Structure 1
C-alpha cells in the first residue's frame, strides 16, 4: 500500500536538487517522489543506482518503462513519481529523476530508499508455549557511512513495541539487543499461552513520528491429530464382535442348562414309583415325621433338600422321602 510509505524530511537542497529518504517495510509498495516535475511526464527520466559509484540503470524515459527485471513492479504516477510494488531488499539504492535529455537535463531530486525487514530463525514448529523465540529486525539502507552515523545524523531509532505501542525494552520479560553497525535490533522472549495471536512491531521512528514498521504475529500450530490406522480399527472392531459373540454363546449355554435342570426336576417329581409302607421302614421312623397307615413313600433321586430335619440319613445319601397323603378307599 502506497499510503504505508513515509517520506523523511529533506536533508539538503542545492540548486533545486533535493535529497529525500524513503523507508518501506519488506514486501510493501513504495513511492519515489519527483518534486517540481513538469506536467508532461514523457520528458521525465528515472534512473537507479544500487551503490555509490555504480553505473545507473534507466528505469523510465519517454513515457515508457525500460527495466525488464522490474517492469511488472514499476509504474509512473500522475505527478511523475515512481511507484515500486512489492519491494525487496534488492530495491535499496538511490533513485534519481530529471527532466529532458542528458545534455540539457535538470535534476529534480535524489531519493535514498531503505527497507525494514523482520526475520525469525525459529521454525514454525518451535513457535509454541514454553519455547523461546528471537526476532531480528534489520534496516537495509543505502548510505555513504555507517548505520550508526545514519541514525545519529537523522535522529532515527530502531525499537520493538507491543500492540499498544509500548516499548518492549521497558519490560524485563523481553531481552533487547542492538547492533548499530548493521542497523539490527533483536528481541528474545519466552512464549506464554496468552501470546497466541499477539502482535509485536519493529519500528523506525524519528521522535514521536513512525517512519515505517514491520509486524510479527505469534501463531501457535493447532494440535495435529494422530493419523488413523484403518487396519488397526478394523482389527479392533472384529475383536469386539468376536468377544460379543462369545458372550452371547456363554449366556445361551447358561440359560439352556438352567432350563434343562428345571425340566429334569419336574419329570422326576411327576414320574415317581409308589412303594409299600414296609419298604420305607427306616428304624420305624419317617424322615419328615412319624409313619402312619395312609402314607405312601416314593423314591425320588434329587439333590435338593426338601425336609428341614434329616434323621438317620448320611451326608452322601442320594435319597429324599416324600410323604403323600391319599384318600381312604
Structure 2
C-alpha cells in the first residue's frame, strides 16, 4: 500500500511538472461545471480533445475532434462552449477526477489540466425529515482525483448556523474524527429550532467549497411553492369577484330592458275591427231633398279570438250596422 501511494505521488508530481496550465474546481452535486481549456479565441474546437482520469489509471476520451464521444458514460450531460470549454450538467460525485484539454497534435506539456472535486452530504437514513424530532447521521465526503491519498486532517469540518466549528461532542451533536476525505456528524433535530449544519472543505487559502444540511434549495422550493399557491388563490378570488360583478350587471341590464319594453298580455285580443263607411242616395226622394240630405251608414265587423277547434268558423263573425243621425 505504501509503495502504491509513493508511485501515485510520483505520477502526480510528474504530471504537475509537465503540465504548463492547471486549475482546481470544486462543486456540489446538481450544479453545472464549466471546465475551461484556456485557449486563444480564434482556436477551432474541431482540434480539441478532452480526456478524463478518475481514481484508476485508465484514461477515457470524453471529446474528440470537438465532438462528444458517444461511448462516454456522460454523453447526455456533456457539451462544448464556443470557447471549447467542457460543460458537465448535473454533476455527481462520480464526475470527480482529472480532465485534460489537448489541442490537436501538440505535445503533452502544452495540455491544460483541470482537477474537479465534488463535495457531498449524505444523510442517514436518507429519507429523514429535517423538521421532525429525530436523529440523523451526516456524512460529508470530498470526491477528488486524489481519493487514494488521504486529505489533510481537519480539512473537512462542520459548522453550525452561527459559524461555530463543531468538534467532539456538544449540545445536539456529536462529531466523529475525520477519516481520509470523509467527516461524520450526528445531530439531534429539535422541532421549532432552525438548525443548519454546514460541511466545509478548507485549505491554507480558506474555504474552497461548502454544502449545507438541510439543503438550501429545499427551503427555497418550499417558499416558491407557498408563493405559487398564494398567487393561484388570489387569482381565483379575483376571477370570482369579476364573475359576480358581471352577473349583477347583466341582471340589472335585463331588468332595465324589461321595464322599457311594453308588456303584451296573453289574453288581450288582437284588434280585428274593420270599419267601412257607405254613402248612398235615396232615389225616390225629391231632388231638393237629395241635395239637402245625404245619408251615410257605417258597417263594422268584429272577429272574436277563441283558441278552439271552431276558430275559423264564420259564425263567430259579428256585424254591426249604424246609421249616422
TM-score, scaled relative to structure 1: 0.53
The corresponding residue for 2:124 is 121
SS of 1:26 mapped into structure 2? coil
Structure 2 unpaired stretches of 5+? 1-12, 220-325
Q: 1:58–1:67: 8 Å Cα contact kept in structure 2?
A: no
Gapped runs of 5+ residues in structure 1? 1-10, 221-329
Does the C-alpha gap of structure 1 residues 179 and 164 become closer, same or farther in structure 2, counting only changes over 3 Å? closer
Change (3 A) 1:178 1:35: farther
The residue correspondences of 1:71-220 to structure 2 (distance < 5 A) are 71-101=75-105, 107-122=110-125, 124=127, 127=130, 129-143=132-146, 145-148=148-151, 151=152, 157-169=155-167, 172-173=170-171, 174-181=173-180, 183-196=181-194, 198-207=195-204, 209-217=206-214
- Residue 132 of structure 1, CA deviation: 1.9
SS in 2 for 1:189: strand
1:29 match: 32
Q: 2:42 matched to 1:39?
A: yes
Offset, 1:58: 1.6
Q: Residues 226-237 of structure 1: matches in 2 within 5 Å? A: none
Given the two structures, how large is their TM-score scaled by the length of structure 2? 0.53
* Residue 38 to residue 164, structure 1, CA distance change in 2 (3 Å): same
Of residues 45, 48, 51 in structure 1, which corresponds to 2:52?
Answer: 48
Q: CA deviation digits over 1:131-164, x for unaligned, max 9?
A: 322111111222175223xx36xxx721112234
CA distance in 2, matches of 1:180, 1:57: 29
- SS at 2:167 equivalent: helix
Two-structure CA RMSD over aligned residues (Å):
3.1
CA contact (8 A) 2:156 2:201 kept: yes
Cα shift at 1:37: 5.2
Is residue 70 of structure 1 aligned with residue 69 of structure 2? no
Aligned residue-pair number: 201
